[in-house]
Amino acid sequence: MMIVCATIVLALHLWILPLQRENAKFFKTSLCVLCFPSCKFSVGDLRIMSRRWIHNLNRCADEYLDGIEDFIEFARRHNSGATRIRCPCRRCNNTLWETMENVGFHLVMNGMIETYSIWNLHGE
């Protein structure tokens, strides 16, 4: 019974909570509306990142620029020691390897591939 309850709570936190917090970038622990005020939900190093910024047409917007920083940080964490990663900009299309700094420039100049929502080539 305990495992079933934990699974249900986990599912609620993973699927409902991010929908309610569309603007949140990362959260490792949070006070959620489901269990408030006792909830300090945390599952290891689980982080949920909003990817709404990818569809923002204004590449100078704070949301877009913050999203790029978050993506680069995500790639850095999941590819430790790597000097180059695949560039997910529209021009490179995850086929060319660039430094993380150049990937950031490419994402501002060319935009991110809009269909690249699961970052499997960057450690997800």
* Among the listed residues 9, 50, 55, the one whose alpha carbon sits nearest the alpha carbon of residue 32: 9
Whether 100 and 124 have beta carbons less than 8 Å apart is answered as no
* Cis previous bond, 88, omega within 30: no
pTM of the model: 0.62
pLDDT band, very low/low/confident/very high, at 48 (cuts 50, 70, 90): low
What pLDDT is recorded for position 13?
47
What pLDDT is recorded for position 33?
41
Q: pLDDT exceeding 90 applies to what percent of the chain?
A: 56
Give tens-digit pLDDT for 75-114: 999 998 999 999 999 999 999 999 999 999 999 999 999 9
**For the chain, which residues make up each domain, given as ranges?**
1-48, 52-122
To the nearest 10°, report the CA torsion of 88, 92, 97, 98: -80
Q: pLDDT exceeding 70 applies to what percent of the chain?
A: 60
> What is the pLDDT averaged over residues 41-70?
80
Mean pLDDT across the chain: 75
